Amino acid sequence: MPSIKDTVITPQGLNPKRLAFCREYVADSNGTQAAIRAGYSENTAQEQASQLLSILMVQQEIARLMDELGAKMGWSVERSQMELLATRQRAVTLKQPSAEVSALVAVNRIYGLDKDNHVTTDKPAVFTEAEREELIADSQRLTSLKLRTG
């Protein structure tokens, strides 16, 4: 039988244990460890974390907490993207292909493009000529990296 602590609903619409999970998850993005620190059993923590992360209210609270943390730290998705693109450019200049690929992967993660569930559209992308040339150069550079490491 659940304890009274597990049935009380917070203003965020979550019980205290779920709210604790959200706060812990923001600390390191490790669902299993967040579940353990929030008071879930070590034996079922991985399963609990998976279930918790599939709940919309939990996802919304984690996003809210991450936004709040980012605001406090002066960090944003845009700043992360700019830093990563600058890192990628330094990697290109220094001819460090693995660093370049790592930066591109990180930028893709920001936008969720590392997942199979990203939204696609039938509308053609509209790029400036400079953007198009940069995309072509990036594609050629990555293709040559694959051929060298392949």
Q: Return all residues near 50 (Cβ < 8 A) that are at least 6 apart.
A: 31
20/81 same-domain check: no
Half-sphere exposure of 146 (CA within 13 A, CB side): 6
Answer whether 61's CB lies under 8 Å from 22's CB: yes
Domain coverage including residue 120:
77-149
Query: For 60-75, what is each residue's pLDDT tens digit?
Result: 999 999 888 877 877 6
98/140 same-domain check: yes
Query: For 66-102, what is each residue's pLDDT tens digit?
Result: 888 877 877 676 777 788 788 888 888 888 888 878 8
Query: For 4-45, what is each residue's pLDDT tens digit?
Result: 445 566 667 899 999 999 999 998 889 999 999 999 999 999
pTM of the model: 0.52
Name the domain count of the chain: 2
86/134 same-domain check: yes
84/35 same-domain check: no
Domain boundary among 42, 73, 104: 73
109/123 same-domain check: yes
Q: Provide the CATH number for the domain around residue 38.
A: 1.10.10.1400
100/143 same-domain check: yes
8/58 same-domain check: yes
Nearest Cα to 65, choosing from 22, 29, 30, 13?
A: 22
Domain boundary among 73, 90, 110: 73
66/105 same-domain check: no
Query: For 49-60, what is each residue's pLDDT tens digit?
Result: 999 999 999 999
pLDDT above 60 for 124: no
55/94 same-domain check: no
Domain boundary among 15, 42, 73: 73
20/63 same-domain check: yes
What DSSP assignment string belongs to the chain? Answer: ---HHHH---TTSS-HHHHHHHHHHHHH--HHHHHHHTT--TTTHHHHHHHHHT-HHHHHHHHHHHHHHHHHHT--HHHHHHHHHHHHHHHHHTT-HHHHHHHHHHHHHHTTTTSTT----SSPP---HHHHHHHHHHHHHHHHHHHHH-
